[in-house]
């Protein structure tokens, strides 16, 4: 049984029913998951839930005092609204604690059809200023906003003071450098859209090939990176590739680092943040258990007024690229 | 909106059902003089019905052209062109919201590119810019109720989606505008890649984006031209060139076609597109003319065909 959130609510990824149990057992306050189709932004083979699995998952989580959020956070293509509406209906009928939504049409539907279902605004909606957030709050009654990963801690604090809704921030995992919900790089290269299909750089379009002593990574035939023997081969996400500009080769957009805010939790708390989001619905049960466990112990220590153990911050080994960053939370990232 | 084509069956485009040609906001950071001269020439020479003015990409660039903005708008209006004011693609600071608010108070019609603009519009009619996520009729319906009078198609939309949206838009009295020329926006960020490419940050950028009036070319490690960086924005390498699609889009009910300014003779580009819309010449022949003008730039139309954005299908 996890304790009620005393410091910051820990929101954890449940890519599969197994990962959901792992996250709950490791001390998640809340888990988030999605259906096995393009209605959520992690639409990858072998992941996600059908309605029965979600029902079981909600029962397990609720029995352990843990909340369940259902992500219906992609954008339906024209003429194809039904699947998204059904996803919202199922989430409401099964007693999900909230739905995480992005599309204005889906938000409108949920607001009218299921006024009792709590609505969170997905990071995919890219609401990053008080006026934009007020639009979603006033029109769709959103209770919480998942903040785009583009503001520094000072800006987050200033924003939270003005918006009148809870703020959830990304705490750990994959770090996109473009504004989410407004990036077409992957569909430009593969034809599949992160916004509508829920897949960024899908594995089905990824290939690695050896060229001499180098390993080249490709996305649908487009070279994204090349690695020497001493380098770990990062996944070929288009915004984290090596490119050539002005005759120079570099990680022009972002290096393949993972985000980790473990060291700035007190600052986020002081900024007025309500919840921390662990990214990684595509990750293994073991990964989820380890990351959630470390964050749980750290948050509990902070809640008791103790300094968290140094060892708990050591998550680099399971981090993408094996290296960590504070991303946009620290000034100078821009 | 006057001048919308009525439904007249599958006839080839006729002169009297004149489609409107628009010039999208200039997305690159051109020096003030170049920018001013560009718009004056558009006013005097280009067969364009409507011009979008205003900075979209980066609020740091905004003050440069601000003193010339109203004079430029007057000159365009005097030449018989309508003027729409575009607003920022990414709003984060109070100053940026204030600029949007001021523009809204001052100008007749605003193009919104961040939902902040809709919130401060206060019921006034507006254009939904191509950086707002309207993928479907549900979102369009809601924004029409909020006062949207026109939807500019976002880069990823296919002809199939545009057809469905056009039908829904007609029922709501909303016009559809489709970008048909120029680099496509692929992402926006808080990080400035132009600055980063020279070891600088957004906060001390020295406006290095001014060095690349058509954007900074970005290639893959094996030499494929792939992307273009324009400050905080990432764009396609190829230019969208939808001359072959104009007739079909018109048939769907698309009323306006947008040319996105590039560092080439835009008056000539407008002539070519106007000729295509008027049915004066075969789209294939006009495409060849466009190629002659832009010999080193590949064309793309993949999204419109429902595929990979970077592809070109004749």
Plot region of A72 (φ>0 → left; ψ -120 to 50 → alpha; else → beta)? beta
The verdict on B114 touching A (C-beta cutoff 8 Å) is yes
Query: Percent of chain B having pLDDT more than 70?
Result: 95
Residues B96 and A131: their CA atoms lie apart, in Å, by 11
Interatomic CA distance for residues A47 and A53, integer angstroms = 12
CB-based contact A205:A191 (threshold 8 Å): no
CB-count burial class (<10 Å; 0-12, 13-18, 19+) for B92: buried
Query: Of residues B234 and B11, which shows the higher confidence score?
Result: B234
CB-side exposure of A143: number of CA atoms within 13 Å? 12
Q: Determine contact: A70 vs chain B, CB below 8 A.
A: no
Q: Does B247 touch chain A (CB under 8 A)?
A: no
Residue of A nearest to B194 (CA): A252
Give chain B's mean pLDDT.
93
- Which chain B residues are closer than 8 Å to A252 by Cβ? 193, 196-197, 218, 229
Cβ-Cβ contacts under 8 Å between A and B: the total is 217
> Which residue in the set A76, A138, A187 is minimally distant from B156, CB to CB?
A187
Q: Do B223 and A155 touch (CB under 8 A)?
A: no
Nearest to B191 among A109, A129, A333 (CB): A333
Cα B301 from chain centre: 15
**Does A81 touch chain B if contact means CB atoms closer than 8 Å?**
yes
pLDDT in tens, B255-310: 999 999 999 999 999 999 999 999 999 999 999 999 999 999 999 999 999 999 99
Mean pLDDT of B190-216: 95
CB under 8 Å to A255, separation ≥6 — which residues?
Answer: A240, A321, A323, A325
Instruction: Give the closest of B155, B201, B229 to A332, CB-based.
Output: B201
pLDDT in tens, chain A (334 residues): 444 446 999 999 999 999 999 999 999 999 999 999 999 999 999 999 999 999 999 999 999 999 999 999 999 999 999 999 999 999 999 999 999 999 999 999 999 999 999 999 999 999 999 999 999 999 999 999 999 888 899 999 999 999 999 999 999 998 778 998 999 999 999 999 999 999 999 999 999 999 999 999 999 999 999 999 999 899 999 999 999 999 999 999 998 888 999 989 999 999 999 999 999 999 999 999 999 999 999 999 999 998 876 655 566 666 655 677 888 887 777 7
Beta bridge partners of B300: B240
Which of A323, A333, A321, A322 lies closest to A217 in space, CA to CA? A321
Separation of CA B177 from chain center: 9
Using a CB–CB cutoff of 8 Å, tell me whether B70 touches chain A.
no
Beta strand B175-189 with A214-219 is: unpaired
pLDDT digits (tens, 9 = 90+) for B22-67: 999 999 999 999 999 999 999 999 999 999 999 999 999 999 999 9
Rounded-to-integer distance, Cα B207 and Cα B152, Å = 29
Of A109, A187, A245, the CB nearest to B138: A109
Q: Is B98 exposed, middle or buried (0-12, 13-18, 19+ CB in 10 A)?
A: exposed
Query: pLDDT band for position B5 (50/70/90)?
Result: very low
8 Å CB contact of B302 and A191: yes
Q: What percent of chain B has pLDDT over 90?
A: 87
Please tell me which of the candidates A108, A109, A181 has its beta carbon nearest to residue B133. A181
pLDDT value for A311: 56
Dihedral sign for Cα atoms in the order A125, A129, A135, A141: positive
For residue A89, how many other CB atoms are within 10 A of its CB? Answer: 16
CB-nearest partner of B190 from A130, A195, A334: A334
Per-residue burial over B249-280, b if 16 or more Cβ lie within 10 Å, else e, is bbbbbbbbbbbbbbebebeebbbbbbbbbebe
Q: Chain A partners of B203 at a C-beta cutoff of 8 Å?
A: 332, 334
Inform me whether the C-beta atom of residue A246 falls under 8 Å from chain B C-beta atoms. Answer: yes
A150 touches chain B (CB under 8 A): yes
CB contact under 8 A, B220 and A223: yes
- A242 and B143: CB-CB below 8 Å? no
pLDDT digits (tens, 9 = 90+) for A49-102: 999 999 999 999 999 999 999 999 999 999 999 999 999 999 999 999 999 999
Phi, psi of B107 (to 5 degrees): -105, 155
Q: Closest Cα to residue B127, out of B31, B231, B25?
A: B25
> Using a CB-CB distance cutoff of 8 angstroms, which residues of chain B are in contact with residue A106?
138
């Amino acid at each position: 049984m996890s304790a009620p959130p005393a410091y910051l609510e820990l929101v954890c990824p449940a890519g599969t029913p197994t990962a959901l149990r792992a996250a709950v057992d490791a001390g998640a306050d809340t888990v988030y998951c999605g259906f096995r189709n393009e209605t959520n932004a992690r639409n990858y083979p072998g992941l996600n839930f059908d309605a029965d699995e979600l029902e079981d998952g909600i029962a397990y989580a609720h029995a352990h005092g843990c909340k369940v959020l259902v992500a219906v956070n992609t954008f339906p293509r024209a003429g194809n609204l039904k699947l998204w509406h059904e996803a919202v209906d199922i989430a409401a009928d099964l007693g999900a604690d909230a739905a995480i939504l992005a599309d204005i049409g889906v938000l409108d539907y949920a607001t009218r059809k299921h006024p009792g279902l709590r609505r969170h605004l997905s990071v995919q909606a890219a609401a990053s200023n008080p006026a934009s957030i007020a639009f979603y709050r006033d029109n769709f009654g959103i209770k919480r906003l998942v903040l785009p990963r583009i503001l520094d801690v000072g800006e987050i604090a200033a924003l939270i003071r003005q918006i009148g809704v809870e703020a959830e921030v990304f705490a750990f995992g994959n770090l996109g450098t473009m504004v989410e919900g407004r990036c077409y790089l992957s569909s430009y290269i593969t034809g599949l859209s992160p916004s509508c299909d829920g897949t960024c750089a899908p594995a089905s379009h990824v290939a690695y090939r050896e060229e001499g002593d180098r390993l080249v990574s490709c996305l649908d035939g487009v070279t994204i990176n090349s690695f020497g023997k001493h380098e770990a081969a990062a996944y070929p996400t288009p915004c984290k590739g090596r490119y050539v500009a002005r005759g120079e080769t570099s990680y022009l957009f972002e290096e393949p680092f993972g985000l980790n805010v473990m060291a700035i939790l007190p600052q986020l708390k002081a900024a007025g943040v309500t919840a921390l989001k662990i990214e990684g619905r595509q990750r293994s049960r073991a990964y989820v258990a380890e990351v959630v466990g470390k964050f749980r112990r750290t948050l509990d220590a902070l809640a008791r007024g103790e300094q968290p153990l140094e060892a708990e911050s050591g998550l680099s080994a399971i981090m993408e690229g094996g290296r960590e960053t504070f991303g946009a939370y620290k000034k100078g990232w821009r | 909106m006057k001048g919308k084509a009525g439904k007249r069956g599958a006839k080839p485009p006729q002169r009297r059902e004149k489609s409107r040609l628009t010039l999208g906001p200039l997305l690159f950071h051109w020096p003030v003089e170049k920018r001013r001269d560009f718009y004056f020439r558009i006013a005097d020479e280009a067969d364009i019905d409507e011009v979008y003015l205003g900075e979209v990409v980066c609020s740091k660039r905004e003050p440069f052209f601000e003193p010339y903005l109203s004079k430029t708008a007057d000159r365009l209006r005097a030449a018989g062109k309508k003027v729409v004011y575009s607003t920022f693609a990414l709003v984060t600071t109070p100053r940026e919201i204030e600029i949007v608010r001021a523009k809204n108070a001052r100008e007749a019609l605003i193009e919104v590119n961040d939902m902040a603009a809709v919130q401060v519009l206060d019921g006034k009619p507006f254009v939904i810019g191509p950086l707002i996520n309207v993928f479907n009729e549900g979102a369009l319906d809601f924004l029409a109720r909020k006062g949207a009078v026109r939807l500019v198609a976002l880069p990823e939309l296919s002809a199939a989606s545009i057809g469905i949206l056009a039908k829904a838009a007609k029922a709501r009295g909303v016009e559809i505008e489709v970008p048909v020329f120029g680099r496509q926006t692929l992402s926006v960020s808080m990080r400035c890649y132009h600055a980063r490419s020279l070891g600088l940050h957004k906060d001390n950028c020295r406006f290095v984006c001014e060095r690349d009036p058509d954007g900074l070319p970005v290639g893959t490690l094996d030499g494929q031209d792939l992307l273009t960086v324009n400050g905080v924005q990432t764009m396609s390498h190829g230019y969208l060139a939808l001359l072959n699609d104009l007739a079909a889009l018109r048939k769907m009910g698309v009323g306006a076609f947008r040319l996105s300014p590039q560092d080439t003779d835009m008056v000539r580009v407008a002539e070519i597109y106007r000729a295509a819309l008027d049915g004066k010449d075969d789209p294939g022949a006009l495409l060849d003319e466009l190629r002659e003008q832009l010999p080193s730039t590949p064309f793309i139309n993949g999204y419109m065909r429902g595929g990979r954005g970077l592809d070109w299908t004749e």
